[in-house]
Amino acid sequence: MSAFLQATVYGLLQGGLLALVAVGFSLVWGVMNVVNLAHGAFVILGAYIGWGMHQEFGLDPFLGMFVSAAVLFALGYVTQRLLINLVVNGPIFITLLLTFGLELVMVQGMNLAFSADFRSIETSYAGESLALGSVRVPVGRLLAFALAVAITFLLVALVTRTRTGMSIMATGMDRGAARLMGIRARHVYALTFGIATALAGMAGAMIGTVGTFSPAAAGSFTLMSFVVAVLGGLGNMYGALAGGLVIGLVQAWGGQYLPGTWVNALAFLVLIIVLVVRPTGLVGKAFYAARLEV
């Protein structure tokens, strides 16, 4: 029983972090129909910034992640405004091609700038774990999970209660109508992308504390974002959280009760089954399929 509980706890904690990694990706795909293949690269860049802050200034990564967020927000805003906006009206998946090129440039750039060495951000408390009965709860992961959930709720609040957030939702639903209402679509798109990359950067900084990273890990984060975002329902913030938690739990339970190497196969099987049964994802709503919603 305690093994089951341990696995559940681990699964939830991991899932929360996955959700944070994926929520920006889901936002961008859902609102702007932009498939950002460079998403994982932004996550890793955020991890490097957090690591750099820790190296140079001794800044705790859970504070350093705000620096990551700020830097990556700026970077994302500029990227969307000057680069991706140029092809938004093109045929479907052209953004995929553009972000593919962007990913190559970013990953190689990080390889050259930081070398391919594996990095990790050391904190004194991250390795400690609290004891809940017979179950151990690692502090670092718990903190990351709590922050991920908090940020998701904050994002939902931002989108539903602020004018900026509303303009993002409106532009996502109907860009033409939004522009007629006086919303500056170029700016809103750039803002959305900036928010997405800021979240990716934060997730990256947190990931730096729980494991090791290197430029080559970018691709796996993008892949994971694909799965979690779609599982939950594209464009849906709660969906990303749901998707992340489900994947985290499935992998943790799978790891306990199946031979350890089947966990990934199980996760994909769950994805396929969910999509066949609920074609718009766990929480996605059919009417606004592929649009932002809460």
Footprint of another protein on residues 229-258 (CB under 8 A)?
A: 230, 234, 251-252, 254-256
Closest to another protein by CB, 87 or 156: 87
The count of residues in the chain is 294
Q: Taking the CA atoms of 45, 47, 50 and 52 in sequence, report the sign of the dihedral they define.
A: negative
285 binding another protein? (CB under 8 A) = no
138 binding another protein? (CB under 8 A) = yes
Q: How far apart are CA 11 and CA 22, in angstroms?
A: 16
Q: With CB under 8 A as the contact rule, which of the stretches 6-14, 42-50, 58-66, 145-153 interacts with another protein?
A: 6-14
Interacting residues of 167 by C-beta distance below 8 A, sequence separation 6+:
178, 183, 188
Q: With CB under 8 A as the contact rule, which of the stretches 59-67, 149-157, 191-199, 219-227 interacts with another protein?
A: 219-227
Judged on CB neighbours under 10 Å (0-12, 13-18, 19+), 232 is: buried
CA atoms in the 13 A half-sphere facing the CB of 58: 1
34 binding another protein? (CB under 8 A) = no
Q: Minimal distance in Å, beta carbon 69 to another protein? A: 22
219 binding another protein? (CB under 8 A) = yes
86 binding another protein? (CB under 8 A) = yes
Closest to another protein by CB, 181 or 269: 269
92 binding another protein? (CB under 8 A) = yes
Locate all alpha helices (DSSP H) within 58-120, ordered by sequence. Answer: 61-82, 94-114
Q: Minimal distance in Å, beta carbon 279 to another protein? A: 5
Residue 86 token pair: 């140029």
Q: Among 74, 78, 115, 154, which residue interacts with another protein (rule: CB under 8 A)?
A: 115
